[in-house]
Structure formats: structure tokens, C-alpha cells
């Protein structure tokens, strides 16, 4: 019964009504039988059997005898449906021919407009990491990456491939989001990779400025654009612009995450408020009215709670990042030397923070500022115990 039901439904797709399909299946299954038997076996209303059989006869699917009782015989399926099947085949062929003509017309139109179709293929979340490893390994000259936390975690899983291309002198640059500074994934990236930081919410991997891999961190899926010259060049320009404006991470690799985050937030605060310019304008008057420690505390950074060696490490890292400078602390002589390869007061915000920190710890200080147009600037901090 179930099998006959399936055949009935299939016949309806050939254009037969439900009653016609039931009657035909019954006749195929039982051979030559009377109209009343057709009604019985196919469970059709008696009043509908004869009109249904006449319709089947008109469609050349059954033969009805002229004798009484009326006897009915199904036309063999291979004879009954050959014509219908051929008709469907002809329609499909005509449709394929039409689609081919339309595609040719579309391609010709693109050529006249100077347009060329570029294709890409999608990656499931399960295949993204493997594809990323393959593309890194196959890179010849450069890898440029912009990643959010999800993308950096994926990249950390490709450490072996990154080491491989670094040994081939491939230039690898990565822009990460601020939240990833000092994270486990951040420390997993090989030291030969250049890393900068900037607010970003995308995952874009550019290989040799021609192949692009985009990853959606919401669902983990990806898309690879191969040999896409225009897209590759465009994305490279975006990356270069972001790289020029991003913050260096030199000096942060060996720091704890909390200290590395503190350095980044301090640099942001100084840059956003133009404190370098303000402090530079007050150096001659020796009037630094800005309470840097309070300003940092409002932003959630409490340097007063940290020991001197940690504060020195934070300031030293900030100097490396902002002005290619460094800090030297001579504990025997109680002297601190702050140096910057850049002139124009670039080291002043960090010197001021350190000076105010020392005062908060109960020390007196004396600052001596030296500026050399060729060698940069240098500030000496002489530390004296507070006699009070």
C-alpha cells in the first residue's frame, strides 16, 4: 500500500489527477479488470470511476472495452510515458540552450564594458585553519594581517608555518586589537613578526599582495579570493594606511598583560590629549601644572600602587614605542637618564610621569634637559631623599 501511494504521488507530477493516478496504478498492478474492480482496488468513489477511466483513455494510458461489463487494461508504462519523458527531455535541453546563450550574452557584455569576473570560494569553519596554514606556507614575499581576537587565536595556531616563512625572509606584519596586547596568543606569535596595535574588528589576511583570505569571527567561516589583483592592491593600501597610523608594540613582548595594557592606555591618553605638546611648551618655564598621575587614575591606571622597578619598566616600554627611546636607572647614584632619538619633547610625558611618581613616593628630584638636533634629547633625573 505504501509503495502504491508513492507511485501515485509520482504520477501526479506527470500531470495526472489524484484519481487518475490511483486508477492507473491499480490497473498496472492487477492487469485487465472491470470498472467496479478498479473502484474497489483503488478506493475510488463509484461515481468517479468511469469519468476517470475516460480521461485516462483520452490521455492514451488505458484501453476500455466496448463490451459489458466494461473491462479496462493499462497501456504498458514504457509505451504510455515515453512520449511524456521525451517531451520533458526536450524542454530541459531547450532550457539549457537558453541559459548558455544568456551566459554568452552576459560575458560579451562584460567584455564591452571592460569588466572581468573574478571568482572566490567559501570555507566552512572547520576548514579555515587548514587553509590559513596552507596559504602562509605558500607565501613568497609578504604577509599582511589585520586581526581581531578571534583571528589572532587562529594565527597563533600557525606558529610553525610563520617560523617557516620567516626563515625564507618573508616580511610578516600584523595589526592586532588593543585587547590582545600581552595575551597568550600575542606571546605565541614568533618574535620575527612585526606587530602593531590599533582598534580593529576584522580579519583580513593578504598574501603577496594578490591573494586575500577574509574570516568572519561571528561564525568562523571564510572566503578566499585568488589572483584578485584589484582586491589585493586595494586591501594592501588599506593595510599600509592602518600600519602607518598603528602603535608599535616594541618592548611589550616580555611584559605581563596588565603592564602591557597599562602602557598602551597611557600612550593613548597622552596622544589623545596632546600632552606631549602641552608639556613641551612649559619646559622653559619649568611649570608642569598637569597632574599626570591623577589623569591616569581617572583612566583606571594607578601607578602609585606599583613598585619603582615596575614603573620604570612601563616608562621604558612607552619610550621605546613612542620615540625609539629608553630609560637607564643607576640605583647606586640615584640617577635616571631618559633618552629619545626624537627631538621636540617626545620624552617629556614619560619623564613627567616618572618625576611625579617619585615625588609621590617621598623623593625630591632635579631635572636637567639636554637637546641635540642630531642625537635627539636627553633628560637627567637626580633623585634626593626628602629631608622632611
In tens, the pLDDT along 169-199 reads: 999 999 998 888 888 888 889 888 999 988 8
For 362, the 3-state DSSP assignment is coil
Pick left, alpha or beta for residue 141 (phi over 0 → left; psi -120 to 50 → alpha; otherwise beta): alpha
For the chain, the straight-line distance linking the first and the last C-alpha, in angstroms and rounded, comes to: 106
In a 10 Å sphere around its CB, with 0-12 CB exposed, 13-18 middle and 19+ buried, how is residue 363 labelled? Answer: middle
Beta-carbon contacts of 153 under 8 Å, excluding residues fewer than 6 positions away, are 185
How far apart are the C-alpha atoms of 82 and 279, rounded to whole Å?
Answer: 93
Residue of higher predicted confidence among 83 and 51: 51
Residue 2 has pLDDT above 60, yes or no: no
Domains defined for the chain, CATH in brackets: 2-80 (1.10.10.10), 120-248 (3.30.870.10), 257-385 (no CATH)
Residue 73 grid cell: 487494461
CB of 350 within 8 A of CB of 338?
yes
Q: Which tens digit of pLDDT belongs to each residue from 125-178?
A: 888 999 999 999 999 999 999 999 999 999 999 999 999 999 999 999 999 988
The confidence score (pLDDT) of residue 285 equals: 44
Q: Is the pTM of this model over 0.85?
A: no
| Contacting residues for 286 by C-beta, under 8 A, at least 6 apart | none
Q: Where do the H-state alpha helices sit in 13-171?
A: 18-30, 35-42, 46-58, 77-80, 82-112, 125-137, 149-156, 159-167
211-215 and 222-225 beta bridge pairing: antiparallel
- In DSSP terms, 64 is beta-bridged to 72
Amino acid at each position: 500500500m505504501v509503495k502504491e501511494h508513492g507511485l501515485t504521488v509520482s504520477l501526479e507530477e506527470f500531470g495526472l489527477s489524484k484519481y487518475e493516478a490511483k486508477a492507473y496504478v491499480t490497473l498496472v498492478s492487477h492487469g485487465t479488470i472491470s470498472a467496479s474492480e478498479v473502484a474497489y482496488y483503488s478506493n475510488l468513489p463509484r461515481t468517479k470511476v468511469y469519468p476517470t477511466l475516460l480521461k485516462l483513455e483520452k490521455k492514451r494510458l488505458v484501453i476500455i472495452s466496448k463490451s459489458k461489463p466494461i473491462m479496462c487494461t493499462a497501456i504498458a508504462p514504457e509505451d504510455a510515458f515515453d512520449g511524456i519523458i521525451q517531451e520533458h527531455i526536450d524542454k530541459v535541453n531547450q532550457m539549457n540552450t537558453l541559459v548558455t546563450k544568456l551566459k554568452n550574452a552576459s560575458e560579451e557584455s562584460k567584455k564591452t564594458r571592460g569588466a572581468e569576473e573574478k571568482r572566490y570560494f567559501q570555507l566552512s569553519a572547520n576548514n579555515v585553519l587548514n587553509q590559513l596554514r596552507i596559504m602562509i606556507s605558500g607565501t613568497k614575499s609578504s604577509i599582511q594581517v589585520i586581526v581581531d581576537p578571534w583571528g589572532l587565536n587562529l594565527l597563533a595556531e600557525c606558529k610553525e608555518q610563520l617560523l617557516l616563512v620567516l626563515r625564507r625572509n618573508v616580511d610578516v606584519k600584523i595589526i592586532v586589537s588593543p585587547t590582545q596586547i600581552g595575551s597568550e596568543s600575542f606571546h605565541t606569535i614568533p618574535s620575527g613578526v612585526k606587530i602593531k596595535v590599533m582598534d580593529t574588528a576584522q580579519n583580513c589576511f593578504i598574501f603577496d599582495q594578490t591573494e586575500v583570505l577574509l574570516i568572519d569571527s561571528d561564525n568562523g567561516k571564510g572566503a578566499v579570493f585568488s589572483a584578485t589583483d584589484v582586491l589585493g592592491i586595494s586591501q594592501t593600501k588599506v593595510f599600509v594606511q592602518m600600519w602607518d597610523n598603528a602603535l608599535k608594540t616594541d618592548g611589550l613582548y616580555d611584559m605581563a598583560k596588565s603592564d602591557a595594557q597599562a602602557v598602551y592606555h597611557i600612550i593613548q591618553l597622552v596622544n589623545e590629549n596632546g600632552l606631549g605638546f602641552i608639556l613641551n611648551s612649559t619646559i622653559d618655564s619649568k611649570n608642569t601644572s598637569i597632574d599626570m598621575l591623577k589623569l591616569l587614575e581617572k583612566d583606571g591606571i594607578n601607578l602609585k600602587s606599583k613598585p619603582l622597578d615596575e614603573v620604570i619598566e612601563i616608562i621604558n616600554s612607552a619610550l621605546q614605542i613612542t620615540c625609539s627611546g629608553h630609560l637607564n636607572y643607576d640605583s647606586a647614584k640615584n640617577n635616571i637618564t631618559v633618552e629619545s632619538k626624537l627631538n621636540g619633547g617626545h620624552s617629556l610625558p614619560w619623564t613627567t610621569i616618572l618625576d611625579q611618581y617619585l615625588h609621590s613616593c617621598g623623593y625630591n628630584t632635579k631635572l636637567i634637559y639636554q637637546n641635540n638636533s642630531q642625537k635627539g634629547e636627553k633628560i637627567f633625573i637626580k633623585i634626593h631623599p626628602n629631608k622632611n
